[in-house]
Amino acid sequence: MPALNETSSFDTLANPGVKAAFKAGSPVFKVRLAAGGKLFKWTQYQLVGPRGITPWWSLLNDTTLPNGTVVPGFAAIQQRIGGGFENARDYARARNAVTLQWNQLTKPLVVALSQDVFAFVGITAHQRRDQDDDKIFFIGGDYQVWLPGLTVHHVRQVSALPYIRPLNT
């Protein structure tokens, strides 16, 4: 049986809203993520919600794209921005362009892949800071992972504690 998304392409899977979440003119790469690999996100939600598991993630560890670009994982980003929990969360909101009404980003969520999957990785487009204000935008610009079709058979939640630096460090 093929791995999740192995036989699909971004162009056939992604609707216009998904495509707009990636920076226009920048490539979106199909990347094989190996079993045991980890994904990260800030969220207010549980792993499994009414619509299943969200397809939107960040890479926990550095990952090399097919073109040779090294995408920094969460640990490298934390190191780059300094500070602790609050700085990392605020940075993620701006650089992953998470509009205020979409998600409160109250806690970290980390999952480990139970099997190999194929994800789509590209640069986040800018988004409105507030959905009702078309004058202020979050910059975007970090790499994001879109992994449609995730189920509890593909991932398991793991503790975020080993990956989150304490406040004021």
What does the domain layout of the chain look like in residue ranges? 32-158
**What DSSP element (H or E) covers 79?**
helix 74-81
Q: Collapsing DSSP states into helix, strand and coil, what is residue 111?
A: strand
Q: Which two tokens stand for residue 69?
A: 């670009």
Cα distance between residue 136 and residue 129, in whole Å? 6
pLDDT by residue (tens digit) across 40-79? 999 999 999 999 999 999 999 999 999 999 999 988 888 8
For residue 12, pLDDT beyond 90 = yes
Residues in the chain: 169
Give me the pLDDT at residue 84, please: 63
* Alpha-carbon distances, residue 79 vs 52, 85, 152, 168 (angstroms): 32, 12, 31, 13
Q: What is the mean pLDDT of residues 84-98?
A: 86
Cα distance between residue 25 and residue 3, in whole Å? 28
Contacts of 99 (CB under 8 A, 6+ apart): 127, 128, 129, 130, 131, 138
Angle CA 62–64–70, to nearest 5: 65
| Whole-number percent of the chain with pLDDT over 70 | 95
Q: Which residues pair with 40 in a beta bridge?
A: 58, 110
Give me the pLDDT at residue 85, please: 60
